[in-house]
Structure 1
Amino acid sequence: MESYQSDWDETFQYLSREMLVPEVLETDLQQQVPTPPASEISPSLRKDTTTLSVSTTFFPGADLGQPHPPDLVLHSSDSVFFYIHSSAFLKFSKNPFTSLIPAYPISPTSDDSILPEVIVPENSHVLNIVLHLLYMIPCTHFSPPADVISKAIGALKRYGVSIKPFAAPDTCLYDLILSRAPLHPIELYALAAEHDLHDLAVAISSHLMSFNLSTLTDEIAIQIGPTYLKSLFFLHLGRNEALKRLLFTPPTLHGPTLQCDFAEQKKLTRAWALAAAYLAWDARPDLSTGTINSVFGSLQKHLCCQLCQNNLRQRVKQIIVEWSDVKVSHY
């Protein structure tokens, strides 16, 4: 009996030692493998993390030239927040921002970090331009496309802001539109015409010399309207007519000499007429002075008379000067 008890004790001690090994190993592994620090946890896994997109110009603490901090937050359609002053809108808006902003100063809350929020239908690109214009902050460096400028002006008008004072020469809107006119001349001319921004329309029309009026769509023509459309057509037609008058006036004839009589000089007149017809056949308002000089200058190599050469050079020079003086914008 004692032998069985001894055998059992040895077996129990052996099993106990073997069963303790996994526990020890697990403990050692826990000590050897460090726990990742909390900062390495993916933000997407943190339920208490919220990401906000805030304007780089209109943010809390931005210096916007106002005597008090922002008292309103505008929430764009693409979820960008703009911290602004309600007074900046109420000063220009005839309909208190389509009644989205109270027509009286907003009282500050006890917690300065909690401001009233207004959700607007414009996206951040459009709203950014709108706010820059209202705060009279230059914004040409954003280089917005024509449709963003158009939507920004439409938003200002919808919010009860009179456009003309903001589009006068030397204003932010005037500079912004004119800076984009070389790339989008007809679109911005139509925009200026639509809102009767005369000074802008005149300035932009100078960028339309190379525009083919036959490509005007019905939509753009309707947007431009009859008054500004007539001015644009007359500008093109006037330049074409002025060009033809200049081209078809040949060089003056000099007195007959032994080497070059009137019959000989008629050769220059006929050659000039052919060159003028070549240019006038596809006359364009943007015909360059270089082209005029090149076409008529090529006649000189066929002239043996020095007086004829001088008359030819003088006439080409006169055409270039007069063509440069023809107006390039309507009034």
Structure 2
Amino acid sequence: MELFGDVGGAGMEDGDVFHDQFHPFQGHGNGPIQNATPADTPLADTQPNMQYAPQTAYSVSHTFHAGFVANGQTPDTILVTPDHILFHAHTMYLSVTSQNGFNGLVDPAAAGPVTPGVPMIISVPEDAILFNVVIHTIYHLSCCEYNPPLDILLSAVNVLKRYGIHPQDVVVPTMPLYEHILLEAPRKPLDVFIVAAENRLEDLAVATSAHLHSLQLPDITDEMAERIGSLYLKRLIQLHVDRANDLKRALLDTPKTHLDTVDCGYVEQKNLERAWALAAANLLLTVQPGTSSLVVIFRTRELTMVCLDEDLPVSVLRSSLGSVERQLRCEDCKASLHARVRQIILQWTTMTRRTI
């Protein structure tokens, strides 16, 4: 019996296998009749074995099986993928959910005569792993247990449109596909943002933009820009510009001065202002809209570990601005410096704009 080696990603039952049977047929009338070979006939004199066509195995979806009930109705349609996986579904549900009769596949006029009690068989062009995501989304079910890759999830968004399902209706917060894509977004945030933008999925685009702080804007190709569209591309660029401006405004405020002491007066405290201005200028020159945190690493020469999810990690701020301390001898100046660095870090992590 032929079984599929990898049907887990499509949610298949290994035990549910069907075969197209090939039955040998003995001719009648004037056709040749095959006689049985006597038991004592030498092996070399026996007739060659008849060659039968190989059997085709069909696996049934673990979720969309013959007993799958939706709205009190049992399935009346079987959707078959090219890799021989069967998905049992409901014609009425697909018709109501789709805006184009499920790409015309469940249109009664196109389907032809239907025998009562016999499921309608429909072939779909998608392979089982992709169609498994599509059909789960249509029925508002989660497919997380099958762990489909992010590329499959994003492809499913476009396939849904082919079947007359608007992504704005099923890729929204609280819907399984939205939650699944958002969970995987940090792996390929730009790919997710492109799909969200071209389908006007506002919530997904906004949420994903939080992972694009380290994106280098020149890496966006013409094809990507065309798919993103002018509106979302402008908002993405503006996000980078605004974050850079927020940092500039924060760095303009120098650490507060303290009352003059015997060891640290007006002249000595000017050293803190000059050192701060130099460190801030160096940081602002390296951190521009659309640059990555790696550029900051090589310019500051202070950092050994960073988090690449941010365009300016907190560790870079602390290292760059904290380097000023080496030029100070006054403990009051050092305390003022530490307080200002903490304020900037708090502002950067909690108040700076993070999404489009």
State the TM-score, normalizing by the size of structure 1: 0.79
**Residues 54 and 80 of structure 1 are in contact (CA less than 8 Å); yes or no, is this contact kept in structure 2?**
yes
Report whether the alignment pairs 1:60 with 2:85.
Answer: no
- What's the counterpart of residue 244 of structure 1? 248
**Residues 96 and 103 of structure 1 are in contact (CA less than 8 Å); yes or no, is this contact kept in structure 2?**
no
Give per-residue Cα distances to partners, 1:182-223, cap 9 Å, x unaligned: 011111101011111111110010011111111011111110
Other structure's SS at 1:83 match: strand
**Residues 132 and 138 of structure 1 are in contact (CA less than 8 Å); yes or no, is this contact kept in structure 2?**
yes
Choose the corresponding residue for 2:158, options 140, 146, 154: 154
Size of the aligned set, in residue pairs, is 285
CA distance in 1, matches of 2:278, 2:147: 46
- What's the counterpart of residue 104 of structure 2? 99
Report whether the alignment pairs 1:130 with 2:156.
Answer: no
Give per-residue Cα distances to partners, 1:231-288, cap 9 Å, x unaligned: 0000011101111222232212223222111111111111112221232222156211
The alignment yields a C-alpha RMSD, in angstroms, of: 2.5
- What's the counterpart of residue 217 of structure 1? 221
CA distance in 1, matches of 2:136, 2:152: 13
Report whether the alignment pairs 1:119 with 2:123.
Answer: yes
- What's the counterpart of residue 23 of structure 2? none
Give per-residue Cα distances to partners, 1:131-152, cap 9 Å, x unaligned: 1001111123434334322331
Report whether the alignment pairs 1:326 with 2:332.
Answer: no
> Residues 59, 192 of structure 1: CA spacing in aligned structure 2 closer, same or farther, 3 A cutoff?
same
Letter in 2 for 1:191: V
CA distance in 2, matches of 1:184, 1:76: 28
Choose the corresponding residue for 1:286, options 302, 311, 331: 311
Displacement of 1:48 in angstroms is: 8.2
**Residues 275 and 327 of structure 2 are in contact (CA less than 8 Å); yes or no, is this contact kept in structure 1?**
no
> Residues 199, 48 of structure 1: CA spacing in aligned structure 2 closer, same or farther, 3 A cutoff?
closer
CA distance in 2, matches of 1:136, 1:318: 45
- What's the counterpart of residue 3 of structure 2? none
Higher helix share: 1
Q: Which runs of 4+ in 1 moved over 6 A?
A: 104-108
Choose the corresponding residue for 1:77, options 71, 75, 82: 82
Choose the corresponding residue for 1:90, options 95, 112, 116: 95
**Residues 105 and 122 of structure 2 are in contact (CA less than 8 Å); yes or no, is this contact kept in structure 1?**
yes
Letter in 2 for 1:93: S
**Residues 60 and 86 of structure 2 are in contact (CA less than 8 Å); yes or no, is this contact kept in structure 1?**
yes
Other structure's SS at 1:118 match: strand
Letter in 2 for 1:265: Q
Q: Percent identity?
A: 37
**Rg bigger for which structure?**
1
Letter in 2 for 1:236: H
> Residues 86, 213 of structure 1: CA spacing in aligned structure 2 closer, same or farther, 3 A cutoff?
same
Letter in 2 for 1:195: N
Displacement of 1:58 in angstroms is: 1.4
CA distance in 2, matches of 1:141, 1:232: 33
State the TM-score, normalizing by the size of structure 2: 0.74
Report whether the alignment pairs 1:228 with 2:254.
Answer: no
